């Protein structure tokens, strides 16, 4: 049985996360939304100093709920807070025990501060098997060449204090079997930030294009085995490890979406309460007002997505296979946050559209959760293939 009951220690972690969301995130959320690419250095220093208040890197339900709380404060600033991030999740999912020790424990020891993951390319979005970046062995080193786009935390990880997990092919003729991931550390010659993106939302977070030109890294910085192996007719080790990374990161994105969605839902309910509008639970649907039905639908979407997220996260923490569950959680949470925030803006009318409040910002911030770490459509395809027993070639 899955038990989501929190211990007193876990509850204290979430209470601290909520307090931080109220006192540290919300007050500066609008400023950094309007000053894209301006680094919130004071905020980063504060969060780095607080890194002992709860695990910096975790795979459990508590860690996911902590992410939800911070995104209730501000999703963009959560993505600036120091931590292993998606890069750390990739190391955890694909690295050896020794690599976990080499790269992950250092986050708690003071450096690096950020972990980025570089997978998407100009000619490769959802089809990760089409990666063109190459890794060629040269003696006891790997030489990386290629371009990665939409790298979250890219600038900070590359130029300040971080690691970048780069997906590349060691053998193009091997197709998916040639896909491998590599750890490139901050300051490595041949790795540079080419540009920063201007985005619809999560503007406090830098999203970069990172270029690798004859970038040399130690041989042991390949995650897992360098051997190119085909597991069966449809699966390869490299592609399987890439998907294992998504199995670890998609529940995290679902938790982010829940935080933004809950922020919008809370705002609507608080505003209605101030205006004396009561949500009457327990009545037949045909007896409810339109607003009551809308709010209940928003709550139902939020709660359904949260249960899927918690299930996927719990399975991940128990090292159980969770591919279908993580895709379900990600797809549902992306849809839920989009519906909740758009409906919230609609219900609040001019108040929702006005920049006086953060509601319109949450609508913009929320949409990214339906896009990165695999679009909603891709995740639904993953779920459909698993449920129906179809291969990738049979269901596209």
- Is residue 333 within 8 A of residue 257, CB to CB? The reply is yes
- Residues 129, 175: Cα–Cα separation, whole Å: 7
Fold of 237-388: Butyryl-CoA Dehydrogenase, subunit A; domain 3 (1.20.140)
State the helix-helix crossing angle for 237-274 and 61-73, rounded to 10 degrees: 50
Would you state the pLDDT for residue 123? 86
259: tokens are: 């935080």
CATH number (2.40.110.10, 1.10.533.10, 3.90.1300.10, 3.40.1160.10) of 101-223 reads 2.40.110.10
CA-based Rg of the chain, rounded to a whole angstrom?
21
Portions of the chain given CATH number 2.40.110.10: 101-223
Q: Any idea what DSSP says for residue 23?
A: I
Would you state the pLDDT for residue 2? 63
- Residues 320, 89: Cα–Cα separation, whole Å: 15
289: tokens are: 């007002």
Q: Any idea what DSSP says for residue 198?
A: -
DSSP assignment of 275-329, as one string?
A: TT----TTS-GGGS-HHHHHHHHHHHHHHHHHHHHHHHHHHHHTT---HHHHHHH
At residue 379's C-alpha, the angle toward residues 387 and 174, to 5°, is 90
173: tokens are: 């003729």
Portions of the chain given CATH number 1.10.540.10: 8-83
Would you state the pLDDT for residue 26? 98
Classify each residue of 193-211 as buried b or exposed e, where b means 16 or more C-beta atoms within 10 Å of its C-beta: beeebebebbbbbbbbbbb
Portions of the chain given CATH number 1.20.140.10: 237-388
Strand partners, 134: 145, 169
Strand partners, 163: 115, 185
CATH class of 8-83: mainly alpha
- Is residue 61 within 8 A of residue 11, CB to CB? The reply is no
End-to-end CA distance of the chain: 35
3: tokens are: 């038990």
Would you state the pLDDT for residue 319? 84
- Residues 180, 17: Cα–Cα separation, whole Å: 35
Closest CA to 170 of 162, 178, 181: 178
Would you state the pLDDT for residue 237? 59
Question: Mean pLDDT by 10-residue block, N- to C-terminus, for the chain (396 residues)?
Answer: 78 94 98 96 91 57 93 96 87 88 80 89 80 96 97 92 94 86 95 97 96 97 81 56 82 96 98 95 95 98 97 90 95 98 97 96 97 91 92 86
H/E run at residue 360: helix 359-367
Would you state the pLDDT for residue 59? 62
Would you state the pLDDT for residue 56? 44
């Amino acid at each position: 049985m899955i038990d989501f009951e929190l211990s007193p220690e876990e509850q204290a972690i979430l209470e601290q996360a909520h307090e931080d969301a109220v006192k540290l995130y919300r007050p500066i959320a609008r400023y950094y939304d309007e000053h894209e690419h301006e680094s919130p250095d004071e905020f980063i220093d504060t969060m780095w100093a607080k890194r002992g208040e709860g695990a910096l890197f975790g795979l459990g339900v508590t860690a996911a709920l902590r992410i939800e709380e911070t995104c209730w404060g501000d999703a963009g600033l959560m993505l600036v807070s120091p931590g292993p991030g998606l890069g750390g999740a990739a190391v955890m999912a694909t690295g050896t025990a020794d690599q976990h020790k080499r790269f992950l424990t250092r986050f708690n020891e003071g450096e690096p501060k950020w972990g980025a993951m570089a997978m998407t390319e100009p000619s490769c979005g959802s089809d990760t098997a089409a990666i063109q970046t190459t890794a060629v062995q040269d003696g006891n080193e790997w030489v990386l060449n290629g371009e990665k786009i939409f790298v979250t935390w890219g600038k900070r990880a590359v130029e300040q204090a971080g690691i970048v997990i780069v997906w590349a092919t060691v053998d193009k003729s091997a197709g998916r079997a040639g896909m491998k991931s590599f750890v490139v550390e901050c300051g490595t010659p041949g790795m540079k930030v080419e540009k920063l993106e201007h985005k619809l939302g999560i503007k406090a977070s830098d999203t970069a294009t990172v270029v690798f030109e004859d970038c040399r890294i130690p041989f042991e910085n390949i995650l897992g085995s360098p051997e190119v192996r085909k597991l069966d007719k449809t699966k390869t080790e490299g592609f399987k490890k890439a998907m294992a990374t998504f199995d670890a990161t998609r529940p995290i994105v679902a938790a982010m979406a829940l935080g933004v969605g809950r922020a919008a839902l809370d705002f609507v309910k608080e505003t209605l309460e101030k205006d004396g509008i009561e949500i009457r639970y327990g009545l037949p649907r045909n007896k409810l007002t339109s607003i009551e039905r809308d709010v209940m639908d928003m709550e139902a979407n939020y709660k359904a997505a949260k249960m899927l997220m918690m299930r996927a996260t719990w399975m991940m923490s128990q090292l159980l296979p969770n591919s279908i569950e993580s895709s379900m959680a990600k797809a549902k949470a992306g849809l839920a946050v989009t519906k909740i925030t758009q409906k919230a803006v609609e219900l609040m009318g001019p108040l929702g559209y006005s920049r006086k409040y953060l509601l319109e910002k949450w609508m913009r911030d929320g949409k990214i959760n339906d896009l990165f770490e695999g679009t909603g459509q891709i995740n639904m395809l993953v779920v459909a293939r698993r449920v129906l027993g179809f291969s990738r070639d049979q269901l596209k």
